């Protein structure tokens, strides 16, 4: 992997979350289950090439749910995502 595609720091830019759809309400809108953190998103050196998503968990019902990015709080920025991300 070239330096161009590697992330700029060990700290994630966002936490990656997932909430499964658990059914529908009386109005026909989707009801989401409890959200869980499944990974993180990291900046790349070349911002024009996007970001890198690293999954710790891949939900089996990924197509039946919602992925979302959660902003990193200042106290979370110092915590490594996993032992190999430190």
pLDDT one digit per residue (tens) for the chain, 86 residues: 454 455 445 789 999 999 999 999 999 999 999 999 999 999 999 989 999 999 999 998 888 999 999 998 766 555 555 444 43
pLDDT of residue 6: 53
- Pull the structure tokens for residue 50: 């996007």
DSSP code at position 7: B
The distance in angstroms from the start CA to the end CA of the chain is 18
pLDDT of residue 7: 46
pLDDT of residue 62: 87
Question: Does this model's pTM top 0.95?
Answer: no
């Amino acid at each position: 992997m070239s330096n161009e595609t590697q992330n700029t720091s060990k700290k994630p830019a966002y936490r990656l979350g997932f909430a499964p759809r658990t059914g529908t309400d009386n109005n026909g809108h989707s009801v989401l289950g409890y959200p869980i953190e499944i990974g993180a998103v990291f900046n790349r050196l070349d911002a024009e090439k996007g970001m890198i998503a690293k999954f710790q968990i891949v939900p089996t019902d990924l197509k039946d749910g919602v992925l979302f990015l959660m902003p990193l709080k200042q106290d979370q920025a110092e915590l490594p995502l996993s032992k190999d991300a430190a």
